[in-house]
Amino acid sequence: MNLLLGLKCMFLELIVVSYDFMQSRIVGGYAPAPHSIKYMVSIQNDKGQHFCGGSLINKYWLLTAAHCNIMVIVAGDYSLSVYEGTEQFFTPRFLVPHPEYNKSTNNADIMLIRLQLTVPVHLNSFVTVAPLPRQGASVSEGRVCRVSGWGYTSSTGAQIPATLRTVKVPIVSAVHCNSSQSFGGNITANMICAGYSAGGKDACKQGDSGGPLVCEGRVYGVVSWGNSCASAKYPGVYTAVSQYRSWIDQTINSFY
Ligand SMILES: *[C@@H]1O[C@H](CO)[C@@H](O)[C@H](O)[C@H]1NC(C)=O
Ligand SMILES: *[C@@H]1O[C@H](CO)[C@@H](O)[C@H](O)[C@H]1NC(C)=O
Ligand SMILES: *[C@@H]1O[C@H](CO)[C@@H](O)[C@H](O)[C@H]1NC(C)=O
C-alpha cells in the first residue's frame, strides 16, 4: 500500500522523551465543570508527568500534535493530582506522525496514536469521542472556539496539581495572522490562528500542545505553537484538522 510507505510509524522503543521542549498552557481561562470535556486526554511521560493534551477520536485512536512524546494516556481525568476513579489508562501501540511534519516550520504538526487493542477505551459518562470537521471545512474569522488543557508550571517537568482548564478564543484570519504585523509569513495553509487581537485581558489563549480547539462542536485545531502568551500581536497557532481529515480517515482505515 502506497499510503503506508509514507507513514513513519515510530514504535515506543524508539521514542526518547524530551523534558525540555516548551509547553504552552491555558492562560486566562477557567476550570470547566468536572468531566464536561470528555474527549480530552492527558498524555504523560513514564513518570506520570503531563506533557501534552489530545483528543479521543474513536475507541482505538487519539489525535494530538506531532511534536508530542507519548508513554501513557489518561482518559476520563479532571484533576491530575487526585485519583477520581473515572480515569482510564492506556499505552500506545504505535504513533503515526504526519509524514510531512516539519519541526522547523511546524507544518503538519499532527499525529495519530493507536491504542493497545487489548484494552479499547470504555466510552461512558466521563469519556466520549470528539467529532472532527470534514476535509476542507473552514471556520470563519471571529468564530469563538474553545481550547482546553492542563496547565504546566515549567519546562523542566514540574507540574502544578491542577484540574483541566478551558478558554474561549476567536478565530483570527490567516491573512492577519500571516501578516508582517504578526507571524510574518510563517503561517501555512495547514494552520489556523485563534486569540484576542486586543490582548491585555485575561484572554491569552494556548492550551497544552496537542489539545483540542473546538469550534461548532468539532475539533478544528490541535494546539501547535505560538509566541509568548498574552500577546496581542501573536495569536495561538493550531494545526488545521480539516486539512488532514482525509489523511486521518485513510490512516485509521489502513490499520484495520
Ligand atoms: C522544513 O521546511 C524547511 C523550510 O521550508 C525546509 O528547508 C526543510 O527542508 C524542511 N525539512 C524537512 C525535513 O522537510
Ligand atoms: C518566522 O520564522 C523564521 C524561521 O523560523 C524566524 O526566524 C522568524 O523570526 C519568524 N517570524 C516571525 C514574525 O515569527
Ligand atoms: C503566508 O505567507 C507566506 C510568505 O508570503 C506564504 O508562502 C504562505 O503561503 C502564506 N500563508 C497563507 C496561509 O496564505
Which pLDDT score, from 0 to 100, does residue 255 have? 84
Mean pLDDT by 10 residues, the chain (256 residues): 32 27 55 90 85 92 88 89 91 93 96 85 95 97 92 47 82 95 96 77 49 96 80 86 98 89
User: Looking up cell 498574552, which residue turns up?
Assistant: 230
Write down the pLDDT at residue 49: 80
Q: Strands (DSSP E) along 87-137, which ranges?
A: 88-90, 92-97, 111-115
Task: State the ligand closest to the CA atom of 240.
Answer: 3
Ligand 2: atom nearest CA of 234 is 14
Q: What is the per-residue pLDDT for 212?
A: 94
The CA radius of gyration of the chain, in Å to the nearest whole number, is 17
Q: Which pLDDT belongs to residue 199?
A: 52
Question: What's residue 60's pLDDT?
Answer: 93
State the cell numbers at 105.
516550520
202 a catalytic residue: no
Q: How is domain 40-129+244-254 classified at the architecture level of CATH? A: Beta Barrel (2.40)
Catalytic residue among 42, 209, 224, 242: 209
143-242: CATH topology: Thrombin, subunit H (2.40.10)
Lining ligand 1 with CB less than 6 A are 102, 104-105
Rounded to an integer, what distance in angstroms lies between the CA atom of residue 51 and that of residue 35? 19
Q: Same CATH fold, 143-242 and 40-129+244-254?
A: yes
Q: Whose CA is nearest to atom 12 of ligand 1?
A: 102
Nearest ligand to the CA atom of 190 = 3
Q: Give, for ligand 3, the residue of 187, 190, 238, 242 to mutate: max count of ligand atoms closer than 8 Å to Cβ.
A: 187
pTM as predicted = 0.85
CA of 237 to the centre of ligand 3 (A): 14
In the chain, where the domains are located: 40-129+244-254, 143-242
Strand residue runs (E) in the chain: 40-44, 50-56, 61-64, 72-75, 88-90, 92-97, 111-115, 144-149, 165-172, 191-194, 212-215, 218-225, 236-240
CA distance 25 to 27: 6
Q: What is the pLDDT of residue 150?
A: 81
